[in-house]
Structure formats: structure tokens, C-alpha cells
A and B are shown apart, each in its own frame.
Chain A
Amino acid sequence: MDHLIHPIALYLGLALVGLGLCVALPRAKVSPQLIGAMLAASGVGVILVLMGLNARDALPNLYFYVFSFVALGAALRVVTHPRPVYSAIYFILTILASCGLYLLLSAEFMAFALVIVYAGAILITYLFVIMLATQAPTEERTEGLERYDTAAREPMAATIASMALVAVLTGMLFTGSMELEPRMAGASQDALLAQLPRRVEDAMKDTGAIGFKDRIVDRDGDLQIDVEGRRALVAGPSGERWVDFPADLSPRNVEALGFNLLNAHPGSIEIAGVILLMAMLGAVVLSRRQVEIDEEAKAQQARNLMEGRGAEGQA
């Protein structure tokens, strides 16, 4: 397959998306967001339909279209909504829709980690800061928006620059990814089962292949699991025997991800920990409030402390 989509058609579609985005950005007067969103959505729709026509035997499933529509629509609202609180809430919607896409890509652990970390922690921090850094409404200005929220800065130039970037990126990706061979097509992670004795045991117990007290034989750290033959040596009250794996036994997403994280990138975890620690220290130092106490107050505090200690000593 040479072209998934003709470059001219791709660029025209992206121009339509850019026009829609440019129209939808907030302006000082009226900003026709609905028209802009519809233009952008039609641009994306044209590109997706043309791609679908050329890739009829490899379409992503229906949920992909639903989730990506929600994700991109909510992302558009994040960028265009004049009120920061709504932007943050639409961002949560983007996160949830991306989690749907992650699930479609069989990354279950990351999908739920994303909900917990992003929607649960980071966005709540954003909402707190929006609450902290908002001016209280005054007598004359109760229901107004700040000027810097309602007027976008250089919408035309930003849109053109971004859309040119996307046009180049997608053009390269589409021609390049067609020639990219998958690295381990069809390779399964079953080799990991040799290090997961409890998982194998539990799967066997679930199917009733072994009894409750049976254990996989461990000869001085050498587990008797034969992954290639899909069987394991099990010791029970009636002696040792080879038991076949259940048919659908394979490592789960979390197990494979955990092995990859700790086997392939052990140093990166340490660095990530240091980054988080530094961020915490930095945030504490930045947001600390310095309390100025003059000499008189310090002396008074010291006297109070001395008196309190003296009273304790007498008692």
C-alpha cells in the first residue's frame, strides 16, 4: 500500500481543521465556537473517511472513532473555553476518552493509572490552583471574565504554524509507518511464565488440574516450569508429576509491564523518583511563605517558652 491517503487530500483536510480551530478560538467580541468546531470535525471526518476507504481490511474498530471524537472534541474545548475551570473539566473528559483508546490498544494498566494519576491527582491540583488564583468578585464586577481569558493572542499565526507542523508530521508518519515492520509480530510474552510460579499454580488450581496443596517444584531456585512444552512439574501428596498449562494461560498486561519496567529500565525508575522528589522540594520552597518577626516579638516568644518550662519544672 503506497499511500494511505493522498497527500493533497490530507493537506486540504488539515487546512479545514485549522480553519475550524482558528474560528473557534476565543476573541474579544463574539466567537462562533460551534461553527469552528463543526468545521474542524468535518475536516477530521474527511481525513478519517479517506483513510478508511484506503485501509478497508485494517480499519480500527468502531470504538476508536467514538473515543477519538470525544477526545479531540474535548481537547478543542480545553483550548477554546474562556473559563479555566471548564477547561480543566474538559481536560478530564479528554483523559477519560484517551483511556478508552488505551484500552483498545490493550494497555489496561496504563489506562487505569492514567485515570488515577491524571484525572484524580494532577487535575485536582489544577482545580485547586484555579480556585486559589482567582480574584474574588467585587461590587462592580460580579460576573465578568478577565480580558486575558476572552482574547486569544495571534490565533491565525499559531494555527498556521501548528497545522504546518501536523501536515509535515503526518505526511512523514503515513509514508514511513507503512514501511515500518513490526518488531516482534505475534511474539507472545509467555517466556515470562517461567518466573511466575504462583500465577501458573493459581491458573492450574482454577481449572482443577492440580489440588489445593500441590506446589510447583523449586529445586534451589530453579523452578521446574517448561514454558515451551507448556507444562510444569508439580509436587503433591501423591508425588511429583508433569501437569500441562491451561489453554489460555499467558501473562497479563500488568505482569508483562512490571517485568519490563524492572528488568529493562531499573535506572529510569530511580531517576523518576529523584525527579519527583526534586519537584516536591521545589514546590515547597517556591510556595513557602516567609514570616517576618521583629526582635521584640522574638524576645516575647522566648520569655513565654522559658516561663512554660519553669512551670513544668515546679510541677
Chain B
Amino acid sequence: MMHTDFFVLAQQGFPEPMAAATLAHYLLVSALMFAIGLIGFLTRRNLIVMFLCTELMFQAAGLALIAFSRYHLEYSGQTFVIFVLTVAAAEAAMALALVVLLFKKRESLDADEWTEMKG
């Protein structure tokens, strides 16, 4: 037996509350995306790819926020995604400026090149 809305875009029943089981599906996707980003951040050595992976984790957080916003029919979740976007943009600007600076010094993007601060 299949749900009648299986093939229908979600907005058509928008003001109706979303089932908790549906919320769980979105949260699973969000958690997996966060995990993939975390794995990438821990394993990759290229500084640029590491920062791309943090953006992936921001994405996952945004998806969870929007899913909860839809579940509670409360717009603050979407508002907070705007702030997540702001922080992501600021982080990208700063991080990439740093990456360019570091690349000029060592001609390499390897994160393992910068181990002076290691104890």
C-alpha cells in the first residue's frame, strides 16, 4: 500500500503537518551528509578540499534546520539557514585568503606541510 502523495510535490499539501517518520528520513540524509563531510575533512590533505568538506557539513546542518522548520511549521528554521549561509560565506572568504597566503609561502596545498605548531 503506497501513500497517495508518493508522486506529488510536497508544496501542494503545505500547511498540513509533516509526519514524524518523514522528518526522520530527512534527518537521516542530513546526518549522512554531515558524516561524509566529516570523513572528508579528516582524511583529505588538500587545504581547499578540506574547506569544501566544511561547506558540506554546513549544508547538512541547513538541511536539518529546514526539515525541522517544515515539521514545526515555524519559519525560524529557515531564517537560521540564512545565518548559516552568512557564516559559510564569511568562512569561505577568510579561509581562502589564508590558503592563498600559505600557498605563496610553500608552493603546496598539503596540510601536513604546516606542522610547526605540533608539540
Binding site for B on A (CB under 8 A): 1, 4, 17, 21, 25, 44, 47-48, 51, 54-64, 68, 71-72, 75-76, 78-79, 84, 87-88, 91, 94-95, 98, 101-110, 113-114, 117-118, 121-122, 125-126, 129-130, 132-133, 135, 146-149, 151-155, 157-159, 161-163, 165-166, 169-170, 173-174, 177-178, 180, 182-189, 250, 256-257, 259-261, 264-265, 268, 272, 275-276, 278-280, 282-283, 286-287
In the complex, B116 has a CB within 8 A of chain A: no
List the B side residues contacting A60 at CB < 8 Å: 10, 22, 25-26
Contact indicator per residue, chain B 51-67, by CB within 8 Å of chain A (1) or not (0): 11101100100110011
Cα A183 to Cα B34 in complex, Å, equals 26
List the B side residues contacting A48 at CB < 8 Å: 25, 28
Cα A103 to Cα B22 in complex, Å, equals 15
Cα A265 to Cα B79 in complex, Å, equals 8
A177 touches which one: B24, B39, B90 (CB < 8 A)?
Answer: B24
Given contacts A129-B48, A185-B73, 5 further A-B contacts (CB under 8 A): A55-B24, A153-B42, A158-B38, A163-B35, A169-B31
Q: How far is the CB of B77 from chain A (nearest CB, A)?
A: 8
Q: How far is the CB of A151 from chain B (nearest CB, A)?
A: 7
List the A side residues contacting B19 at CB < 8 Å: 55, 57-58
Could you write out 6 A-B pairs with CB less than 8 Å apart?
A: A59-B21, A60-B26, A75-B36, A91-B56, A101-B26, A279-B93
Q: How far is the CB of B86 from chain A (nearest CB, A)?
A: 4
Q: How far is the CB of B113 from chain A (nearest CB, A)?
A: 8
A276 engages B3 (CB within 8 Å): no
Q: Which residue of A lies closest to B112 (CB)?
A: A148
B97 engages A260 (CB within 8 Å): no
Q: A122-B55, A133-B100 are in contact. Are A283 and B31 (CB under 8 A)?
A: no
A161 engages B73 (CB within 8 Å): no
List the B side residues contacting A68 at CB < 8 Å: 25, 29
Q: How far is the CB of A5 from chain B (nearest CB, A)?
A: 9
List the A side residues contacting B25 at CB < 8 Å: 48, 51, 55, 60, 64, 68
B89 touches which one: A62, A152, A276, A282 (CB < 8 A)?
Answer: A276
A186 engages B72 (CB within 8 Å): no
Cα A253 to Cα B101 in complex, Å, equals 42
A275 engages B3 (CB within 8 Å): no
B78 engages A260 (CB within 8 Å): yes
Q: How far is the CB of B51 from chain A (nearest CB, A)?
A: 8
Q: A51-B28, A60-B25 are in contact. Are A75 and B56 (CB under 8 A)?
A: yes
Q: How far is the CB of B3 from chain A (nearest CB, A)?
A: 5
B42 engages A158 (CB within 8 Å): yes
List the A side residues contacting B39 at CB < 8 Å: 21, 25, 79, 155, 158-159, 162
List the B side residues contacting A108 at CB < 8 Å: 11
Cα A279 to Cα B93 in complex, Å, equals 6
Q: Which residue of A lies closest to B11 (CB)?
A: A106
- Residue of A63, A154, A287 with most chain B CB atoms under a 10 A cut-off: A287
B109 engages A78 (CB within 8 Å): no
Cα A260 to Cα B77 in complex, Å, equals 10
List the A side residues contacting B23 at CB < 8 Å: 177
List the A side residues contacting B7 at CB < 8 Å: 61-62
